Structure 1
Amino acid sequence: MTPEDRFPGPEHPDSGPRHQPDLDVLPYGTYYEPEPASGYSEAPYEAETYSGYGGARYLEQHWPVPGTEHGPGAGAGDGHGGHGGHQGYEPPALSDHPATAHGGNGGHQGHPEQRERQSDDPPTIELGPPLAEPGLPYHPYPAPGPGEPPGPLYVVGDVHGYLDELLAALRHQGLVDADGHWSAGRSRIWFLGDFTDRGPDGIGVIDLVMQLAAEAAAAGGYCRALMGNHELLFLGAARYGDEPVQSTAGTASFLAAWRLNGGQQHDLERLETHHISWLSRLPAIALEDDHLLLHSDTTAYLEYGESIAEVNDAVHDLLADEGVDEWWDCFRRFTKRFAFRGDAGPTAVRELLASYGGARVVHGHSPIPYLTGAVHSDDGMPPHIPGPYVYADDLAVAMDGGVTMDGRLLVARLPI
């Protein structure tokens, strides 16, 4: 029995039916899985990458045992960080956060044969502190003093409009309070992109992240976000609409591609100038604590610059000045996926790390069930996602838990 089977964490609310397909598609309905990048050996794209394949494994979510002190409470100097130890922790009920509960899709047991593929004692990414007792204020960190080190670092996988699930996951980590406000002191959070499309409330997700960014800054921490391919698609749909673009699949438009990929009309109708301004300035790539943060598992970033600053400037300049075809080409490049999977994967990761720095890539974009080959279950159960997925010789961490396909919206604390 693995830890997530015993303590599966919070059950996430069910925001309604999941919109298919779960991989991005270009016009005329073809999945966009590009050929291997030139210079790499042929990658076995059809091969399953279960635990053990190329060093891949899950980083299991180790939930605290009721009646014992949780690891992060041991203090910041022990390698885990400290929020103060709370004993006797129980996962919070859905009523503890403002989202409306409609049932749960978290904590799936998974197949025994799949669990057997996981190592007996895999390393973990700690997922944050237990919550305070109900009704008590939660202030895990004081304001930072001069020369103090930064707070712990968290990453959030693809949200795709599932606001209720996002609030539940952040609340379970102690990063927001029962009213959805920042409660993590000087902690640091990076969202890996893809706020909208497929789910019911993409604009609500953007509003929440913008709110948390302001509240975190006031508390001495920060909340930041990367630009995903769905941000490029959403902004393109708003700016260019049905204006034709030239694509390899024939003449298409941003609006048609956005609808094909789960675009929600009510999100487009609620999009305001301040949303556009904020989204347009998001970086495409970042480096934090030796983690190279990307949205997409692709080497296409190398086509936009040899440094992080060059890549971000190139994307921002393109969104500000270039035309519809250049914008479309950027969207297509950042929609590529699976560059880190298979035999050629470690080589691709190392090329990115050599250019941009860091010791490991952390990305969203490609749902973990597709990376592991566990998309379809014989018994109809949702995919088993125990936590972030490490692969490519331990050089890559996948964070898209497949919330759009009844998986899990992942929020994970990275090692500092």
Structure 2
Amino acid sequence: MTPEDRFPGPEHPDSGPRHQPDLDVLPYGTYYEPDPNGGYAATGYEAETYSGYGGARYLEQHWPATGPDQGHTVHAQNGPHEQAGYEPTLPDHPSPAHGGHPGPGAQSDDPPTIELGPPLAEPGQPYHPYPAPAPGEPVGPLYVVGDVHGYLDELRTELRHQGLIDADGHWSAGRSRIWFLGDFTDRGPDGIGVIDLVMQLAAESAAAGGYCRALMGNHELLFLGAARYGDEPVQSTAGTASFLAAWRLNGGQQSDLERLEAHHISWLSRLPAIALEDGHLLLHSDTTAYLEYGESIPEVNDAVHDLLADEGVDEWWDCFRRFTKRFAFRGDSGPTAVRELLDTYGGTRVVHGHSPIPYLTGAVHADDGMPPHVPGPYVYAEDLAVAMDGGVTMEGRLLVSRLPI
């Protein structure tokens, strides 16, 4: 466990960051620094593509965020340290903490979804489906985005630098494809703003013939758990804890919880845990815990979605803890762990977030007081794994990179 992820123990349920022993991590990979003058050349990938749930579902462009029966906001009743019994729930949703689960009526709070289609047109305007690729036309370039953690301004800057959005923050990349690798919230100042931007780009990219999709990270599980279960006790290996306490301890921002709405919850709950694109196995966490949820990509994604829909607080907590594991791909046994995932789910290389590159390389332990140097994605485990968490929360970088690397 790194200082990036901590859980409250039984004696210190509200304790802050505690000293962690230094990690014995040595560099054993290489950085990838893209050619700044290199443009996009159509590669015509024809490898299997399977995203399961990804961006095939997204909010209609004109789904109302507010209204008498929609867009409910979850508000905290007290300050961030005055909520011993705080348990945010949405209107008309039975509280899971008291044995209830959202019933059939709760579905009315869900935003409408469309399978592989563009946003709805304005009333009275003609409907134009997004253009289908012409015969023989190559697919657009594929990009991945590492952990954002609420750093909205940095995200906009990097997307703009890559030519994926325009100066106003709207999709400008045509048929390009983007996968976010999870962890939108916590630690940074505007997690909800990040989620809103990704949802917006999902709709705008589909209208242009591309797509913007996202994986579920461990911080999505933590954020959803804090909103749904609050201070309800869970049995963890560290003793009795709660989602809300763990969320605060891991950088949860009260402003994000106060701005969380029903359509955010619905969208986050549907994100896939794993995807395969152009031979790249996309994961949030550098762990083999995915193997515990299924032997195929659809099985893993279905298992996680079923758990979020039906299971109780302890099952949620167990899932969160499993996907918080890290560093399975480093060291002598790392390539074997990567190959086990690739043999099971397909692909030729794993691309992941979750573990900041400065921890993987040991740069976090520099004694000169300078921010860690992260020139680009980090390729390791005999070139079978690519790390994309540039450590934006520790003065590193927010990485947006085009695949393949």
SS across alignment from 1:26 = coil
Per-residue deviation at 1:78? 9.9
**Given the alignment, which residue of 25, 34, 39 partners 1:48?**
25
Q: Percent of aligned pairs with the same residue?
A: 85
* Paired position in structure 1 for 2:356: 367
In the alignment, the residues of structure 1 paired with residue 161 and residue 214 of structure 2 have an alpha-carbon distance, to the nearest angstrom, of 20
In the alignment, the residues of structure 1 paired with residue 306 and residue 355 of structure 2 have an alpha-carbon distance, to the nearest angstrom, of 26
In the alignment, the residues of structure 1 paired with residue 281 and residue 44 of structure 2 have an alpha-carbon distance, to the nearest angstrom, of 24
Per-residue deviation at 1:26? 1.5
Corresponding pairs, count: 312
In the alignment, the residues of structure 2 paired with residue 389 and residue 315 of structure 1 have an alpha-carbon distance, to the nearest angstrom, of 28
Query: Are positions 1:311 and 2:300 aligned together?
Result: yes
**Given the alignment, which residue of 345, 358, 364 partners 2:334?**
345
Contact 1:61–1:386 (CA under 8 A) maintained in structure 2: no
Per-residue deviation at 1:415? 1.9
After superposition, give the CA deviation of every residue in 1:249-307 in whole Å (9 maximum; x if it has no partner): 11000000000000000100000000000000000000000000000000000000000
In the alignment, the residues of structure 2 paired with residue 275 and residue 77 of structure 1 have an alpha-carbon distance, to the nearest angstrom, of 35
After superposition, give the CA deviation of every residue in 1:109-161 in whole Å (9 maximum; x if it has no partner): xxxxxxxxxxxxxxxxxxxxxxxxxxxxxxxxx97324523100000000000
Query: Are positions 1:144 and 2:133 aligned together?
Result: yes
* Paired position in structure 2 for 1:13: none
Contact 1:162–1:200 (CA under 8 A) maintained in structure 2: yes
Contact 2:17–2:249 (CA under 8 A) maintained in structure 1: no
* Paired position in structure 1 for 2:390: 401
* Paired position in structure 1 for 2:94: none
After superposition, give the CA deviation of every residue in 1:26-54 in whole Å (9 maximum; x if it has no partner): 213789x9xxxxxxxxxxx954331xx2x
In the alignment, the residues of structure 2 paired with residue 178 and residue 214 of structure 1 have an alpha-carbon distance, to the nearest angstrom, of 18
TM value normalised by structure 2: 0.74
Equivalences for 1:234-249 in 2 at 5 Å?
234-249=223-238
Query: Are positions 1:76 and 2:42 aligned together?
Result: yes
In the alignment, the residues of structure 2 paired with residue 224 and residue 349 of structure 1 have an alpha-carbon distance, to the nearest angstrom, of 23
In the alignment, the residues of structure 2 paired with residue 394 and residue 236 of structure 1 have an alpha-carbon distance, to the nearest angstrom, of 35
Q: 1:320 to 1:220 in 2, by over 3 A?
A: same
What RMSD, in angstroms, separates the aligned Cα atoms of the two structures?
A: 2.1
Query: Are positions 1:212 and 2:201 aligned together?
Result: yes
After superposition, give the CA deviation of every residue in 1:7-39 in whole Å (9 maximum; x if it has no partner): xxxxxxxxxxxxxx85111213789x9xxxxxx
* Paired position in structure 2 for 1:42: none
* Paired position in structure 2 for 1:23: 4
* Paired position in structure 1 for 2:272: 283
**Given the alignment, which residue of 166, 169, 175 partners 1:177?**
166
Question: What is the one-letter code of the residue matched to 1:289?
Answer: D
In the alignment, the residues of structure 2 paired with residue 146 and residue 49 of structure 1 have an alpha-carbon distance, to the nearest angstrom, of 48
**Given the alignment, which residue of 51, 54, 57 partners 2:30?**
57
In the alignment, the residues of structure 2 paired with residue 186 and residue 168 of structure 1 have an alpha-carbon distance, to the nearest angstrom, of 20
**Given the alignment, which residue of 244, 258, 263 partners 2:252?**
263
In the alignment, the residues of structure 2 paired with residue 202 and residue 347 of structure 1 have an alpha-carbon distance, to the nearest angstrom, of 35
In the alignment, the residues of structure 2 paired with residue 156 and residue 22 of structure 1 have an alpha-carbon distance, to the nearest angstrom, of 22
After superposition, give the CA deviation of every residue in 1:59-84 in whole Å (9 maximum; x if it has no partner): 12332xxxxxx3225x42599xxxxx
Q: 1:24 to 1:361 in 2, by over 3 A?
A: same
In the alignment, the residues of structure 2 paired with residue 318 and residue 312 of structure 1 have an alpha-carbon distance, to the nearest angstrom, of 10
In the alignment, the residues of structure 2 paired with residue 78 and residue 352 of structure 1 have an alpha-carbon distance, to the nearest angstrom, of 25
Query: Are positions 1:296 and 2:296 aligned together?
Result: no
Q: 1:191 to 1:22 in 2, by over 3 A?
A: farther
Q: 1:192 to 1:77 in 2, by over 3 A?
A: closer
Contact 1:169–1:411 (CA under 8 A) maintained in structure 2: yes
Contact 2:282–2:351 (CA under 8 A) maintained in structure 1: yes
TM value normalised by structure 1: 0.72
* Paired position in structure 2 for 1:113: none
In the alignment, the residues of structure 2 paired with residue 362 and residue 168 of structure 1 have an alpha-carbon distance, to the nearest angstrom, of 22
Contact 1:22–1:405 (CA under 8 A) maintained in structure 2: no
In the alignment, the residues of structure 1 paired with residue 216 and residue 154 of structure 2 have an alpha-carbon distance, to the nearest angstrom, of 20
SS across alignment from 2:396 = coil
Contact 1:143–1:185 (CA under 8 A) maintained in structure 2: no
In the alignment, the residues of structure 1 paired with residue 182 and residue 173 of structure 2 have an alpha-carbon distance, to the nearest angstrom, of 21
Equivalences for 1:90-101 in 2 at 5 Å?
none
Q: Which runs of 5+ in 1 are unaligned?
A: 1-20, 34-44, 64-69, 80-141
* Paired position in structure 1 for 2:123: none
SS across alignment from 2:319 = helix
Q: 1:298 to 1:77 in 2, by over 3 A?
A: closer
SS across alignment from 2:370 = coil
Question: What is the one-letter code of the residue matched to 1:212?
Answer: L
Question: What is the one-letter code of the residue matched to 1:25?
Answer: R
Contact 1:362–1:399 (CA under 8 A) maintained in structure 2: yes
In the alignment, the residues of structure 2 paired with residue 300 and residue 60 of structure 1 have an alpha-carbon distance, to the nearest angstrom, of 30
